[in-house]
Amino acid sequence: MNEQQQYILAIDQGTTSSRAIVFDHAGQIVSTGQKEHEQIFPRAGWVEHDPLEIWRNIRTVVGDALTGADINRHQLAAVGITNQRETAVVWDKNTGEPVYNAIVWQDTRTNRICDELAGDEGADKYKERVGLPLATYFSGPKVKWILDNVEGAREKAEAGELLFGNTDSWVVWNLTGGTEGGVHVTDVTNASRTMLMNIATLDWNEDIAADMGIPLSMLPEIKSSSEVYGYGRKRGLLIDTPVAGILGDQQAATFGQACFEVGQAKNTYGTGNFMLINTGEELVHSENGLLTTVCYKIGDNKPVYALEGSVAVTGSLVQWVRDNLGIISSAPEIEELAQKVDDNGGCYVVPAFSGLFAPYWKSDARGAIVGLTRYVNRNHIARAVLESTAFQSAEVLEAMNADSGVDLTELKVDGGMVANETLMQFQADLLGVPVVRPKVTETTALGAAYAAGIAVGFWDGEQDVIDNWAEDKRWEPKMDTETRERSLRLWKKAVERTFDWVDDDVEAAGGE
């Protein structure tokens, strides 16, 4: 690092878009580049991305961010990566071509593979070892699907010609030279979402990889979240810039929210909702439907763990109302409609589009709108759509309180939906604790920037993150206990209506 290097670049390879953000030493945003990529839905339940489009977009947004800040790579101390987790990319290391589109975390095509792997032992077969239940959400079964279904893929994989990674690995491999010496790495947080990493020892589990038929030669080397993995190479704007941080998006947000103490938690409201609570160096196995995951690992320090409640569909339900129902033309309009009524009119929307994630883990659930009467209008439905986000997070918080034995006293929030004040107030009401929004809500990119900046000495460590964090707004709970309990009771009843929807023959007709 030298005098000139006053900035850190974060690349946020998200589910709907890729962003590049330049941060200064105070953790403030200097400039942003952002580009959406296509969501490919080949069949019901399938969700794919084109990895080459993602890589092109990243190069574009890096250029936009540097241009916006009026700087060049010489002024960057390091670049950090954060990414949509679990989304699986398999590519040929000799050509750099993906053998198939990226299979996205929301994709449910591996339902049958998961059932077969579970066998008589059930969905918790690997949970003790990897911290996760068998579910379509995670990467391992998606890699198995690609090797089973793409012609010639298994032979190539066995010959050592294919590489796998979540999108962090894909981006870092390309950034650091691709076919000409690109480094094939991932960090502990991303690896903890594959179902293939031993959660206690942070190395690949050969038995599980063998069960899924995944050759170990495909897997990236597991690194800490904050160290220099390699340098920008080849064509591209980041030549010689150290690539020095990788954190899965939700862990990055936890880091950017300065949740470094045991018991501190954040909730991100994006495409889905993801609540993480720091459990320190202790590995806590959930009894209540939460995932055990790595929160972060700084260089040679011990790993810090978290319990996570993942909810698949929250902001994407608002997108669905916009794109598939057409009753709003932009996401913020949902709030205008919701504000026209005092309550949901008895209507509940359970968006089990990809089954239900935490705390239920039911892949055969599908979405439902219940409680409909002649009285309910689109404003009530808009309100119920917003409320479903808060209800799902309230259930996750209940599970966290039960697992940790301590009740959370406040919740830090971030993500695109926290602009919605009606939702934030309702969330505080349902939780019965204050909800707190920070000044910089791009906490995901910020966390990746910190991880990279700490690795190269641009920041000293976690204290800098704590010092730079500032509160923007706080919502206090106002709802009376009786109303809260009744709402939650009705919500849970609505959730039960979505269970056991998918029959084998229906899945066969709409799916494989």
Task: Please report, as ranges, the residues that interact with ligand ADP according to CB under 6 A.
Answer: 14-16, 270-271, 315-316, 318-319, 331-332, 334-335, 415-417, 419-420
Least distance CB 331 / ligand ADP (angstroms): 4
Q: Can you spell out the DSSP letters for 402-441?
A: HHHSS----EEEESGGGG-HHHHHHHHHHHTS-EEEES--
The nearer residue to ligand ADP, 153 or 276, going by C-beta atoms, is 276
Least distance CB 284 / ligand ADP (angstroms): 26
d(CA 243, CA 226): 9
Q: Which residue has the tokens 């903890």?
A: 192
The nearer residue to ligand ADP, 5 or 16, going by C-beta atoms, is 16
The nearer residue to ligand ADP, 152 or 326, going by C-beta atoms, is 326
Taking the mean position of all CA atoms in its chain, how far away is CA 10?
A: 16
Least distance CB 428 / ligand ADP (angstroms): 16
Least distance CB 334 / ligand ADP (angstroms): 5
The nearer residue to ligand ADP, 311 or 417, going by C-beta atoms, is 417
d(CA 206, CA 227): 26
The nearer residue to ligand ADP, 14 or 232, going by C-beta atoms, is 14
Taking the mean position of all CA atoms in its chain, how far away is CA 450?
A: 18
The nearer residue to ligand ADP, 45 or 415, going by C-beta atoms, is 415
Residue type, 203: D
Can you tell me whether residue 18 is helix, strand or coil?
A: strand
Least distance CB 427 / ligand ADP (angstroms): 12
CB atoms within 10 A of CB 338: 22
The nearer residue to ligand ADP, 211 or 414, going by C-beta atoms, is 414
**In 3D, which of 222, 256, 280, 299 has the Cα closest to residue 448?**
256
d(CA 255, CA 450): 8
d(CA 150, CA 99): 7
The nearer residue to ligand ADP, 98 or 270, going by C-beta atoms, is 270
The nearer residue to ligand ADP, 80 or 415, going by C-beta atoms, is 415
Are 337 and 306 contacting, i.e. CB atoms less than 8 angstroms apart? no
d(CA 135, CA 118): 10
Least distance CB 268 / ligand ADP (angstroms): 7
The nearer residue to ligand ADP, 182 or 447, going by C-beta atoms, is 447
Are 127 and 208 contacting, i.e. CB atoms less than 8 angstroms apart? no
Least distance CB 68 / ligand ADP (angstroms): 18
Dihedral of the alpha carbons of 284, 288, 292, 295, in degrees to the nearest 10: -90
Least distance CB 339 / ligand ADP (angstroms): 12
Least distance CB 487 / ligand ADP (angstroms): 19
Pairing outcome for strands 102-103 and 435-438: unpaired
Least distance CB 311 / ligand ADP (angstroms): 12
Polymer length in residues for the chain: 512
Pairing outcome for strands 102-103 and 48-49: antiparallel
CB atoms within 10 A of CB 298: 20
